[in-house]
Amino acid sequence: MELGLSRAVPRTNLQTHFFRPFRATSSWLGIESKVISWTVVFQVLQVSVFTNEMFGQKMIAQIGTGARSVLYAVQDPRTREVFTLKHVRLESTDKDDRWLVQVEQEYAIGSKLDHPALRSVKQVFRSKDGLKFWKRVEVGLLMEFIDGESLDHLPIESNAQVVRIFARVARGLAHMHQKGFVHADMKPNNIMITSDGVKVIDLGQACANGEKKKRIQGTPGYIAPEQGHREAITPVTDIYNFGATMYWTVVRDVIPTVVPPGTADGAVTAIPTASLRRPDPPQVRNQTVHPLLGKIILDCVEPQPADRCESMGMIAQRLEDLQLVLDAAPGGFPLRIDSSATAPNRDI
């Protein structure tokens, strides 16, 4: 999970930073958020939260953790530009280097993408150990720094707000698909909302279109049937994950998936696709969901890949068309949700 710096580190500890408050979603979302975020203006004076360096980058603060990674806000000592650094190191108990390979893959894919709705990656660092025959033992991935809220923590007030967010996400994923790659792990906490837009993050499970993975990967509660059965991962896999993420956003519950939340890493067995129960329409679970939005969501989460919307670009267009309707509605067609619900986010 990743946090903006102002959430990750108490302001009283940021002795060398200046902050300017802003309403994180007040401009582009067309609705004033109740959550205050902070623009961080980094001006290092004498000391900082961290005084050490990693891969030549000055460490500022820890801002998140992953399955085997730690995320830091860091500063380039030459340009003073601030980035996010994902750090992964092999442990003595590791049987293989798949966690390092995953970061290398994230760089290989991310460096080929260029879209405002996708987090950019800058550089990969590698460290080798002479005592282990110069074997690679740790890697660092330098990425765009994002100060914002993840979607699962964002106050949701209207259907128009949801549609505006997911239309931008869909455009970013459509770009990724055009480049021949699939994200393969869309979920609420992999969507960051900033002061001026949306950023899709975490390419750790991304892969080439058509790849068949050796083990089940994804996040229970959003995982597509073909992921659970180790079949080819394609753009319509992202469409399923995307639809499952929209469903949770407006209903605050996950759809039935072949790998349900709570499944342990060592006991991952997908249920047969034919046994998968269809989700209730979102507008049945939550009567404040616009029926047209509910239809788009259900079209995304068809169990059979061939029955889903044919492309992310088509989904983006449908959402943008619906946005015109909702923007004209009073209050953007208000949406009532359970803001205390927690989104499953542990991947396997």
Q: Is residue 28 part of a domain?
A: yes
Question: Do the bridges between strand 198-200 and strand 36-42 make them parallel or antiparallel, or are there none, so unpaired?
Answer: unpaired
Domain stop point among 123, 144, 165: 144
Q: How many other C-beta atoms lie within 10 A of the C-beta of residue 252?
A: 18
From first to last of its 348 residues, the chain has per-residue pLDDT tens of: 666 554 554 433 333 332 333 344 445 665 444 443 444 434 333 334 445 889 999 999 998 887 788 999 999 999 999 999 999 988 766 666 778 888 999 999 999 999 999 999 999 998 865 444 345 688 999 999 998 999 999 999 999 999 999 999 999 999 999 999 999 999 999 999 998 899 999 998 999 999 999 888 889 999 999 999 999 999 999 999 999 999 999 999 999 999 988 765 556 788 999 999 999 999 999 999 999 999 999 999 999 999 999 999 999 999 999 999 999 999 999 999 988 888 888 777
End-to-end CA distance of the chain: 14
Are residues 289 and 220 both part of a single domain? yes
Q: Is residue 244 part of a domain?
A: yes
Residue 190 tokens, joined: 């992999």
Q: Is residue 338 part of a domain?
A: no
Given a contact cutoff of 8 angstroms between Cβ atoms, the answer to whether 226 and 187 are in contact is no
Given a contact cutoff of 8 angstroms between Cβ atoms, the answer to whether 83 and 74 are in contact is yes
Query: What's the CATH number where 47 sits?
Result: 3.30.200.20
Are residues 229 and 191 both part of a single domain? yes
Specify the DSSP class assigned to residue 224: -
DSSP string spanning 256-301?
Answer: P-SS-TT--GGG--PPPGGGPPPPPPHHHH-TTS-HHHHHHHHHH-
Place of tokens 């994902």: 86
Are residues 54 and 129 both part of a single domain? yes
Q: Is residue 166 part of a domain?
A: yes
Given a contact cutoff of 8 angstroms between Cβ atoms, the answer to whether 292 and 325 are in contact is yes
Domain extent for 294: 149-332
Q: Phi, psi at residue 253, to the nearest 5°?
A: -155, 155
Identity at 329, one-letter amino acid code:
A
Are residues 95 and 16 both part of a single domain? yes
Q: Considering its fold, how many domains does the chain have in total?
A: 2
Are residues 101 and 246 both part of a single domain? no
Question: Do the bridges between strand 17-23 and strand 36-42 make them parallel or antiparallel, or are there none, so unpaired?
Answer: antiparallel
